[in-house]
Chain A
């Protein structure tokens, strides 16, 4: 493109935010047979993904560009995409293939990376973990598939000169500067998540979910069973503050933890 002023053109970022539909974190998880029964739970955007959406929107507000919310799942995931639209993302994309079921992390990450390449993004935000598995593999895994940098568990982001984030380190908080394409996973940090406004909700109602299909490799990790957590043996209960001395002795002599 002609650039008569000889100035470097600012390229506005194409931003993707990964979102996942999960049971509300206050939901009771019931196991029936050897599978969890989620038929009665309320479904929400995974809480850390809300920080990712907020950070993505702030990035766009600082640098321009476009924010696309991307999820992987069947049509019941459309609701959380509309929720993301109501908060302020520009585009909503759902990635699915009817032949998919119980994808393992390698398959999910490959599919997401393929979709992100197709969208043409340079920056991806996601939650540090999803509230269902708690694994936290998706962000760094997708980054590796794309050959990008990744920074995980960030608590702050600054867009004034490139991208600078705060991430936990051994000695405290590392200030990390990122140049080039990157996947950033977000912890709850200093950002306050905005709520959808009436205009956003109206726009979300009319918004079209863009369907995308890509290839994913065969899964090699298979679900065997799900079960309730192991029951904890009944503890000892004492009355009155003076019993704290007795408990201290038990911690040393019975539990051997101090």
Chain B
């Protein structure tokens, strides 16, 4: 079996669970993954490791304090051996994977949802079709979350490599998110509202449910375009964010192609809409034909008693 490289996904200073899914994806290709953790403090690698991986390598360098694509790619390229590279299909890791691929004169295959030997499948046209490509030689791959099951944690040999890169951009300031809630691109559960919510003030009803579930609040393009109080950062859809959470709850969203493109690959979809013929219902695992005014309070109280 050949060696592969899994680049650990880091979120809030911790190794994100999707990393275990990347290990499974790498093993399913018939390779033995080396798990690489870019970091400024190698203690993050303590206890990290998965069944089936060869080793954990913490790549420690000053450049990893802020995301800077060129220095990250340079440092990781210098530290890790050849092989197929796996990263998570998050905006930052897709960017990094593309840069490392280019650095090694390999191609990048993004948003992979299926691996069959050397054949890789990804959605194209925002999920309106799928595409399978055949690779020869090494490539760099990003893998969508919630597709592969996670490899079991297992204690593994950890090595630390000091390797930084030449930082090309400077972060001069960080504007904190107005809300403490997760961003839709990070959340495993998303509840989104459309123009059917009637007014941006009514999004507080979605926020209450989001807080019970630890979910992010999203919005349709119609809602973002109609109301200035709903920022574009909340927009799920073709010109917003593409998401694939475990659970997506669409409230007062009819299901325009533009919106479906951004969320149709969610594992479970719940739709609440008063129009029984709304296109969203064709994509919903659980559809509720009701006004949000009637359905949300019931949902909120059911969830809050279940979660408490």
The interface-forming segment of A82-90, A91-99, A140-148, A204-212 is A140-148
A149's contact among B134, B169, B185, by CB below 8 Å, is which?
B169
* Chain B contact residues: helix, strand, loop or mixed: mixed
Q: Say if the beta carbon of B238 comes within 8 Å of chain A.
A: yes
Q: Please pick, from A23, A143, A164, A175, the residue contacting B174 in the complex, using a CB distance under 8 A.
A: A175
Q: Which of B67, B276, B281, B290 contacts A244 (CB 8 A)?
A: B290
| Cβ B70 vs Cβ A175 within 8 A | no
Q: Is the CB of A177 within 8 A of B94?
A: no
Which of the segments B30-38, B107-115, B154-162, B195-203 contacts the partner chain? B107-115
Show 19 residue pairs from A and B whose CB-CB distance is below 8 angstroms, ordered by the A residue.
A36-B124, A107-B107, A133-B110, A134-B124, A139-B95, A140-B69, A141-B98, A144-B103, A155-B232, A168-B185, A174-B66, A220-B135, A221-B135, A222-B133, A224-B134, A229-B130, A235-B286, A236-B287, A240-B294
Interface residues of B in 256-306 (CB under 8 A from A): 257-258, 261, 264, 267-270, 272, 276, 281, 283-291, 293-299, 301-303, 306
Chain A residues closer than 8 Å to B257, beta-carbon distance: 25-26
Chain A residues with CB under 8 A of B108: 105-106, 135, 137, 141
Flag whether A194 is at the interface (Cβ < 8 A).
no
What 19 additional pairs, Cβ within 8 angstroms, besides A25-B261, A106-B108? A23-B125, A26-B257, A26-B258, A47-B239, A105-B107, A131-B125, A132-B124, A143-B102, A144-B99, A150-B95, A172-B174, A175-B172, A221-B109, A237-B288, A241-B290, A241-B295, A243-B298, A244-B299, A249-B306
Contact B107 A239 (CB under 8 A): no
**Inter-chain contacts of A225 with B (CB < 8 A):** 131-132
CB distance from A232 to the nearest CB of B (A): 6
What mask results when residues 57 to 88 of chain B are scored 1 for a CB within 8 Å of chain A, else 0?
Answer: 00000000011111001000000000000000
With the chains together, A136 CA to B241 CA distance in Å?
13
Chain B interface bracket (under 10, 10 to 19, 20 to 34, 35 or more): 35 or more
Q: How far is the CB of B134 from chain A (nearest CB, A)?
A: 5
Which one, A26, A109, A134, contacts B242 given CB within 8 A? A134
Residue of B nearest to A236 (CB): B286
Chain B residues with Cβ below 8 Å from A142 are 102
A62 cross-chain contacts in B, Cβ below 8 A: none
A169 to B66, CA, bound (A): 9
Contact of A36 among B125, B168, B246 (CB under 8 A): B125
Per the 8 Å Cβ criterion, residues 24-70 of A in contact with B are 25-26, 28-29, 31, 36, 47-48
Residues of A within 8 A of B (CB): 23, 25-26, 28-29, 31, 36, 47-48, 104-107, 109, 128, 131-145, 148-153, 155, 164, 166, 168-180, 182, 188-189, 217, 219-230, 232, 235-245, 247-252, 255, 257-258
Cβ-neighbour of B132 out of A141, A151, A224, A241 (below 8 A): A224
CB-defined contacts of A29 to chain B, threshold 8 Å: 125, 128-129
Query: Do A172 and B177 touch across chains, with their CB atoms under 8 A apart?
Result: yes
A237 to B287, Cβ gap below 8 A? yes
B294 CB to nearest A CB, Å? 3
A245 to B272, CA, bound (A): 13
Q: A55 → chain B, closest Cβ, in Å?
A: 15
Q: Ordered nearest first, which 7 A-B pairs have the shortest CB separation?
A: A241-B294, A149-B168, A144-B102, A137-B98, A248-B302, A141-B102, A244-B299
Interface string of B165-186 (1 = CB under 8 A from A): 0001111111111000001010
CA–CA, A240 and B299, complex, Å: 12
* Interface residue from B137, B272, B276, B285 paired with A255 (Cβ < 8 Å): B285
Contacts of B276 in A (CB 8 A): 237, 239
> B126 contacts the other chain (Cβ, under 8 Å)?
yes
* Chain A residues near B283 (CB-CB < 8 A): 232, 235
Q: Measured between C-beta atoms, what is the minimum distance from A49 to chain B in Å?
A: 12
Contact of B288 among A152, A244, A258 (CB under 8 A): A244
For A135, list chain B residues within 8 Å (CB).
Answer: 94, 98, 108-111, 122
The answer to whether A248 touches B306 (Cβ under 8 A) is yes
Query: Most chain-B CB neighbours within 10 Å: which of A133, A176, A248?
Result: A248
A252 contacts B306, C-beta separation under 8 Å: yes
The residue of chain B having its C-beta at the shortest distance from the C-beta of A153 within the complex is B91
